[in-house]
A and B are shown apart, each in its own frame.
Chain A
């Protein structure tokens, strides 16, 4: 998960590496989801969130669609 100057830089970088671009979005959207994703790590009762719990976080940040599905079901 990398930060590029622009979408043109993403496309050029992928072309140089002969890879298909994945998903791109604004850094403000990442800020919203990143904080929630790990907000339990300093809890003494931490446990790895289940796939549905993690999927709900992605969904709430607007990261929906096949690319953002954590499991096939």
Chain B
């Protein structure tokens, strides 16, 4: 298969494997790791990652690179939203995504953040798919129609 030849089945397999990698490890695989698993060249994987970002709207890459930044709701970089479940932990892109990680993984756990104004630590706990500690108020600064205009800010 040529590096630029489209292969939507393989792209979908790569997308799903990236998500499972996030679930299992808490971080994003590099293009080299993905290439090793699928027996592709790093260049082929980089093309696939850009297709997944630009055509399927499935990933967000770090600007100017082929490294994964977000596979919503997961973040590949540390954020203010730490999600924990037993020995596993993940980073959510925002409070919405952090809670969504626990729902998506289907596990009990907690989300730790802090009030941006007061700095007070805030912890939300989920037990048996129920929000046990519902502290705080959620604020959306950006109207829904503009959420994807600057996804890093949103």
Q: Which residues of A contact B (CB under 8 A)?
A: 1-7, 9-10, 12-14, 16, 19, 21-31, 33-35, 37-39, 41-42, 44-48, 58, 63, 66-72
Size category of the binding interface on chain B = 35 or more
Tell me the complex Cα distance, A30–B96, Å.
7
Closest Cβ of chain A to B2, distance in Å, is 25
**Majority DSSP secondary structure for residues of B touching A:** mixed
Report which of B13, B118, B124 forms a contact with A5, defined as CB distance below 8 A: B118
Is B103 in the interface zone, CB < 8 Å from A?
yes
Nearest CB of chain A from residue B112's CB, rounded to whole Å: 10
B-side contacts of A70, CB under 8 Å: 144-145, 147
Within the assembled complex, what's the spacing in Å between the Cα atoms of A58 and B143? 13
How far, in angstroms, from A51 to B25 measured CA to CA in the complex? Answer: 31
Q: Are B15 and A27 in contact (CB under 8 A)?
A: no
B108 within 8 A of A: no
B95 CB-CB contact with A under 8 Å: yes
Contact B94 A1 (CB under 8 A): yes
